Chains A and B, each alone.
Chain A
Amino acid sequence: MKVKVLCRNPDDYVRETSKDIQRVPRNYDPTLHPFEVPREYTRALNATKLDRLFAKPFVASLDGHRDGVNCIARHTKSLSTVLSGACDGQVKLWNLSKRECLRTIQAHEGFVRGICSRFCGTSFFTVGDDKTIKQWNMEAPGYGVQEEPLTTILGKAVYTGIDHHQSEGTFATCGQTVDIWDEQRSSPIRSFSWGVDSFSCVRYNPVETELLASCASDRSIVLYDTRESAPLKKVVMQLRSNTLCWNPMEAYNFTCSNEDYNLYTYDMRRLDTPVTVHMDHVSAVLDVDYSPTGREFVSASFDKTVRIFPKHSGHSREVYHTKRMQHVICVRWSADDKYILSGSDEMNIRIWKANASEKLGVLTAREKAAIHYNQKLKEKFQHHPQVKRIARHRHLPRDIFKQKRELREMKEARRRKEQNVRKHSKPDSVPLVTEKEKHVVTVVE
């Protein structure tokens, strides 16, 4: 015989813990919950306001260097360790969670030009103005033992940058030529030059690990393949690029920071026009680094600000600055996508949050749900004028603000003039040049 009984799933009414709120069955009939759009709109507005209220991106400052910080590198295996090199030749290792210096090394005489960690995280390399490449152990030497490099390579010319291969024992340096080195050898296994006097930056592609790109002082960006004997291609721009960074999730995209206040994202397969021109800085952009998720990148500029750009966006979504931060020379995104480190002229390394209003630490499930809901609401109502206005508001120092206005006026004037010229000349005699095309001079094969 079949006995029919009422049965309920205890999951519907039993709390997970006694501190949890009581579960109440809910009637989702839409007539019982009217005005959904106005109510959600209000929530969205509040969420945006709170977002701006809690936007406190500055986390900490690491001070200890006695000269401007010239380069920063992240440890490949440890999130809490960061290496930095200063203009007086000192290299410091920092513990981020304790915000203290672990170790100080007088690595070079003159600037420390470049620093990079080995892929396994056991040692790191530095190059300096004293024409040497030095490899150091990541572990501190025992008490009373002097700091000495594992290996030292004396070169012919100054090295201006270094980068290590993603998974092999080779690294690349740049100076008068771009050299590929084997860790075991004292002479480069390959050196590329293409009629250029000096290079300022060289970076390995983190995805297609045999590819390299470098910025040269003749305003060009040169691509290399370590398997080939000759460089691949170069693109000459109107002004010099200072540094570049490959997108760690997209093998063919890279972004370079340029002296003309802009950043350019290129697809390496189509170098004739950049994919995107990122504008907002009001002075030369000195450094750029991608977030490990490849969705955004951060740029450091001579105008004393750090800006965060979405990879496809022409303008920044965030600008960080403080009163005391001077020209920002180097910037890095942490490997867990949460923080940004910036090293500047006034000897400090600053730690910023990548999302200005993010709550730090472990979140409870309900907190997470609320954050996600607010995020979704902000996204949904982002086009509404009030929400937009609040979400976009940022404070800028007065001089940068003025400079920005000035630049805007200049740009507008130029545009107007061009328009007038076009209007008063024969049709098609003044060609329309897009912003993207303007900055590329040639592509050399």
Chain B
Amino acid sequence: MDSSTRKRVKMAAVLVDDDEEELSPDEENMISASEDEEDIDDDRKHTKLLEAISSLGGKRRRMQAERSEASQQVSEFSVNAEGAGEKVKLSDLLGCAEETPGAPSKTKKQLRKLQNSKETLELPLSRQQTEKIQRGVAYERSSKEVSRWETVIRQNQKAEQIIFPLKQEPAGPKRVEQVVAGWKAQTPLEQQIFSLLHSNHQPVTDPVLTPVEEASIRAMSLEEAKIRRAELQKARALQSYYEAKARREKKIKSKAYHKVQKKAKRKEFLKQFDEMMKTDPAAALEELKKMELSRMEERMSLKHQNSGKWAKTKAIMAKYDESARKAMQQQLELNKDLTQKLVVSSDDDDEGGDDEEASALPDFVNESASGSVNPWMRGKLSSEGHEVTADPVTTTTDEPASSQTREEEQEEEEEEEEEENEEEQLLRHFQTKRKLRQDKEDDLVPVTQEEPDAHAGAQEDAEETARDVQEEEMVEEDEEEEEEEVVSEFNTLFNRLMKSTRTPTEPPPQGRASRMREAELAHDEEGLLDETPVRACTMEDLEALVHHGTAEETAASASHAAGVDTSSEPRSEKEKKKKEIDPSEVLTKDANVITVPLAPTLVEGEEGEEEEGPSTQMSIIKEAFAGDDVIADFLKDKKKQEEAGKPKVVDLTLPGWGDWGGVGLKPPRYKRLKFRLKLPPAAPRKDQKLPAVILSEKRNSSIALHQVSQLPFPFQDSSQFETCIRSPVGQTWNTQNTVKKLTAPKVVTKLGSIIEPPRKEDFLPDRKSAGALKQRPQIVLEEKGGKAGKRGGGARRARRRRRQKK
């Protein structure tokens, strides 16, 4: 046995000793118990003694306890077999491994290597350390679990109103089946019915919901359902937008537009056809056949060969009318197109790219995203779409009606039309929006006309027109912006739907929350209770309380003001004043001047009627107030106030200081110059240009009692606070519903109900239900879009296409 193995064995022994030290009382018991059996086994005792002596010589005394008595705690190390005293060595164990033939050579090799290696094993961690690590892990785990509540708690904190108990039983009467248990089907008919219901998994006691339905309800919470409903609503709205759009496009009578449209469509169709050739050759072949058929039909008929009645009339006109000539030309071109043999076009790279996009997105998305000028948002909505229009190819050339008239016509038609509810609502909505916009425009124009009343001449006109133009441009820009908004909104919605991945809302950083709390705390420090040994029992006491408090405050403010005066720094005072909240802004609202347009004309009329009236009145008034000249008094008063407000010269000369003083002696000139201080002139009075008003700019102490001197905590600046104070909440100023909303309490408790703490299963989503959430059907806009296409423009387009082929 080499040194390394000995080391290892020693270490094991040490480990055993560690555990044995704890168990020492037990061991002793055992030993004493063994001593009781003295007379039975004497020589065993002797051997034990010898063993003990021999072990004394060793480095450490090591006891192998013997299990002699049934006890609760038995150490694995104290269980012993025969030959207890012998130490097991590693070589003993390994030796038999070497000898056995079944042992794989690999393990043998490993063992040999182990035997030869010199490095020792690391000591296992002490119990204290392991426990510490265990505690750390457990703490982490439980704090993570507790953190799952954070969103719920935050939500409750932020809620405008929270109603306790949180989990309320649905109100209203319950069904008899829910209340009464133990009802059984008795008559054979009942039994038959119930057996049928049972076999079909239909609800028996509760006649509304099947288990499947209930499960589905449980799977989706109210919020989820609301979100889903909103999504569906939006999708439906979009669908109807596109229906409306298609209908409107359908109504456009401009030939040029349709031509372009048709061309684009044909191009697209070809592209699609190419695609189809790759993906679905059978369908492509069918399409090809159809095209062929339409070509054959075209070749057979004389439809576009300028041989019809219309063509003949046109031919007569063609000499003089260019448009007629053009129309005939077009007909011929069409014929040529249709009769041409189909050549499969090679696809361009960029077109292919577009195609891919098109496949990824529904076509209306592409249209709305790519078309910077979106005709369907600007134009008037039409709802003629349901009528099947004549073949676009055969439409006659109408006189291009002006857009104005067309719009009017459409409006009229719209009024007459009756359509499905949703669509109509949508259309109405659009219409109102548009009207509003128009109104705005109308409003804007007269204002600009009124404004430049003061000016005169041709310049004014020019300016006006320029401004008008500018404004119109502005309006147009606004419109465009609106359109862009709509488009972008739609795009974002679509993106969201396409992603259909829910990113869990991450809780905001804790630092901010703690800061918020600290701020709250700081605020609260201010709001201490005024605890005094005085008891306020009556209204008078309370009032006295106020005066007591305010007296202190005023004293403080007075001393403060005095300090300011002595320092003679009007600047700083002004700054102080600025900081304070202006009483006029907080407590009063400037009286609104009611301008009644009829009033002056009435007065004029009266004057006209009795011309001598005013003069007589004046004389009467003069007679009545002959003694006191009110106006002069007022002016005097004002002058006095002005004088008082002017800064005075401060005379700091000390008579008799440095020269003679006495009655009749004036201080010398140099002194007067030096010690008479002239203060800078005061700021112009506010009532300087108001002849009939005296505005006092002094701080009114009686108002000051009611004023807020510092900006309270949650507000950022005084204007915020002022607006908050200015808006009334009472019933005198608001309607009943508004008052109800404004004064709703933050916490509502139900009288006589026990408020239980929230339960985990009610508020934290399980993993299971989260899974259900994932599984629930998402709205697939592609489907919706497809449907929209089918219901709206798509079906018609397809029909048109078919006709074209014919």
From B147, B587, B756, contact of A38 by CB (8 A):
B587
Decide if A37 touches B525 in the complex (CB within 8 Å). no
- Given A250-B153, A312-B517, A404-B531, verify A36-B728 contact (CB < 8 Å): yes
| Chain B residues, Cβ within 8 Å of A77 | 754
| Chain B residues, Cβ within 8 Å of A318 | 529
- Does B769 lie at the interface of the complex (its beta carbon under 8 Å from any beta carbon of A)? no
| Chain B residues, Cβ within 8 Å of A102 | none
- Given A252-B143, A313-B524, verify A30-B751 contact (CB < 8 Å): no
Decide if A36 touches B533 in the complex (CB within 8 Å). no
Nearest-CB residue, chain A, relative to B139: A232
| Chain A residues, Cβ within 8 Å of B535 | 395
Decide if A79 touches B754 in the complex (CB within 8 Å). yes
Whole-angstrom CA separation of A337 from B550 in the bound complex: 36
Whole-angstrom CA separation of A401 from B698 in the bound complex: 40
Nearest-CB residue, chain A, relative to B524: A313
Decide if A225 touches B755 in the complex (CB within 8 Å). no
| Chain B residues, Cβ within 8 Å of A49 | 539, 542-543
Decide if A445 touches B744 in the complex (CB within 8 Å). no
- Given A225-B138, A275-B517, verify A37-B755 contact (CB < 8 Å): no
Whole-angstrom CA separation of A222 from B358 in the bound complex: 63
Among B238-246, B315-323, B475-483, B730-738, which stretch is in contact with chain A?
B730-738
Decide if A390 touches B139 in the complex (CB within 8 Å). no
Decide if B730 touches A373 in the complex (CB within 8 Å). yes
- Does B536 lie at the interface of the complex (its beta carbon under 8 Å from any beta carbon of A)? yes
Decide if A53 touches B754 in the complex (CB within 8 Å). no
Nearest-CB residue, chain B, relative to A397: B533
- Given A35-B589, A211-B146, A233-B135, verify A314-B529 contact (CB < 8 Å): no
Decide if A252 touches B135 in the complex (CB within 8 Å). no
Whole-angstrom CA separation of A38 from B732 in the bound complex: 13
Decide if B749 touches A251 in the complex (CB within 8 Å). no
Among A105-113, A156-164, A376-384, which stretch is in contact with chain B?
A376-384
Interface of A is mostly: loop
From A230, A362, A372, contact of B751 by CB (8 A):
A362
- Does A411 lie at the interface of the complex (its beta carbon under 8 Å from any beta carbon of B)? no
Q: How far is the CB of A19 from chain B (nearest CB, A)?
A: 19
Residues of chain B from 718 to 741 with CB closer than 8 A to chain A in the complex: 721, 724-726, 728-735, 739-740
Decide if B135 touches A232 in the complex (CB within 8 Å). yes
| Chain A residues, Cβ within 8 Å of B701 | none
From B156, B586, B742, B758, contact of A37 by CB (8 A):
B586
- Does A41 lie at the interface of the complex (its beta carbon under 8 Å from any beta carbon of B)? yes
Task: Encode contact with A along B297-314: 1 for CB under 8 Å, 0 otherwise.
Answer: 000000000000000000
From A52, A337, A404, contact of B755 by CB (8 A):
A337
Decide if B521 touches A276 in the complex (CB within 8 Å). yes
Whole-angstrom CA separation of A392 from B143 in the bound complex: 39
| Chain B residues, Cβ within 8 Å of A317 | 529
| Chain B residues, Cβ within 8 Å of A34 | 589, 591
Among B100-108, B175-183, B347-355, B706-714, which stretch is in contact with chain A?
B706-714
Decide if B751 touches A392 in the complex (CB within 8 Å). no
Decide if A36 touches B733 in the complex (CB within 8 Å). yes
Decide if A269 touches B147 in the complex (CB within 8 Å). yes
Decide if A211 touches B527 in the complex (CB within 8 Å). no
- Does A40 lie at the interface of the complex (its beta carbon under 8 Å from any beta carbon of B)? yes
Whole-angstrom CA separation of A31 from B517 in the bound complex: 42
Decide if B757 touches A293 in the complex (CB within 8 Å). no
Tally of A-B Cβ pairs under 8 angstroms: 242
Decide if A396 touches B539 in the complex (CB within 8 Å). no
Decide if A385 touches B707 in the complex (CB within 8 Å). yes
- Does B538 lie at the interface of the complex (its beta carbon under 8 Å from any beta carbon of A)? yes
- Does A416 lie at the interface of the complex (its beta carbon under 8 Å from any beta carbon of B)? no
Task: Encode contact with B along A265-298: 1 for CB under 8 Å, 0 otherwise.
Answer: 0001100000110001000000000001101000
From A228, A251, A312, contact of B153 by CB (8 A):
A251
- Given A269-B146, A314-B521, A315-B528, verify A385-B705 contact (CB < 8 Å): yes
Decide if A208 touches B709 in the complex (CB within 8 Å). no
Q: How far is the CB of B167 from chain A (nearest CB, A)?
A: 12
Chain B, interface residues (CB within 8 Å), range: 35 or more
Decide if A314 touches B728 in the complex (CB within 8 Å). no
- Does B566 lie at the interface of the complex (its beta carbon under 8 Å from any beta carbon of A)? no
- Does A39 lie at the interface of the complex (its beta carbon under 8 Å from any beta carbon of B)? yes
- Does A389 lie at the interface of the complex (its beta carbon under 8 Å from any beta carbon of B)? yes
- Does B371 lie at the interface of the complex (its beta carbon under 8 Å from any beta carbon of A)? no
Decide if A52 touches B536 in the complex (CB within 8 Å). yes
- Does B644 lie at the interface of the complex (its beta carbon under 8 Å from any beta carbon of A)? no
| Chain B residues, Cβ within 8 Å of A210 | 142
| Chain B residues, Cβ within 8 Å of A377 | 729-730
Residues of chain A from 203 to 241 with CB closer than 8 A to chain B in the complex: 206-211, 223, 225, 228-233
Decide if A338 touches B732 in the complex (CB within 8 Å). no
Whole-angstrom CA separation of A225 from B739 in the bound complex: 48
From A37, A229, A375, A445, contact of B136 by CB (8 A):
A445
Residue among B141, B147, B529, B535 facing the most chain A CB atoms (10 A cut-off): B529
- Given A39-B732, A372-B745, verify A53-B538 contact (CB < 8 Å): yes
- Does B264 lie at the interface of the complex (its beta carbon under 8 Å from any beta carbon of A)? no
Task: Encode contact with B along A359-382: 1 for CB under 8 Å, 0 otherwise.
Answer: 000100000010011011100110
- Does B134 lie at the interface of the complex (its beta carbon under 8 Å from any beta carbon of A)? yes
- Given A207-B149, A230-B131, verify A314-B143 contact (CB < 8 Å): no
- Does B588 lie at the interface of the complex (its beta carbon under 8 Å from any beta carbon of A)? yes
- Does A143 lie at the interface of the complex (its beta carbon under 8 Å from any beta carbon of B)? no
- Does B592 lie at the interface of the complex (its beta carbon under 8 Å from any beta carbon of A)? yes
Whole-angstrom CA separation of A293 from B747 in the bound complex: 8
Nearest-CB residue, chain B, relative to A377: B729
- Given A375-B743, A384-B708, A385-B549, verify A232-B539 contact (CB < 8 Å): no
Q: List 24 A-B pairs, Cβ < 8 Å.
A: A167-B759, A207-B758, A208-B760, A225-B142, A228-B138, A230-B131, A249-B757, A250-B149, A250-B153, A251-B153, A280-B529, A312-B517, A319-B529, A362-B751, A385-B553, A386-B546, A386-B706, A392-B527, A392-B530, A393-B536, A393-B545, A394-B531, A395-B534, A445-B139
Interface residues of A (CB under 8 A from B): 28, 30-31, 33-41, 43, 49, 52-53, 76-77, 79, 166-167, 206-211, 223, 225, 228-233, 248-252, 268-269, 275-276, 280, 292-293, 295, 310, 312-319, 335-338, 362, 369, 372-373, 375-377, 380-381, 383-386, 388-390, 392-398, 400-401, 404, 445
For the complex with contacts A36-B733, A228-B142, 15 further pairs of A-B residues with Cβ separation under 8 Å are: A37-B588, A230-B134, A230-B138, A232-B139, A233-B139, A268-B146, A295-B747, A315-B527, A372-B745, A385-B707, A388-B527, A389-B545, A398-B533, A400-B531, A401-B532
A-B CB proximity, top 10 nearest: A292-B755, A206-B757, A36-B728, A383-B712, A395-B535, A248-B757, A228-B138, A313-B524, A251-B149, A232-B139
Interface residues of B (CB under 8 A from A): 131-132, 134-136, 138-139, 141-143, 145-147, 149, 153, 156, 162, 164, 514, 517, 520-521, 524-525, 527-539, 542-543, 545-546, 549-550, 553, 586-589, 591-592, 594, 705-709, 712, 721, 724-726, 728-735, 739-740, 742-745, 747, 749-760
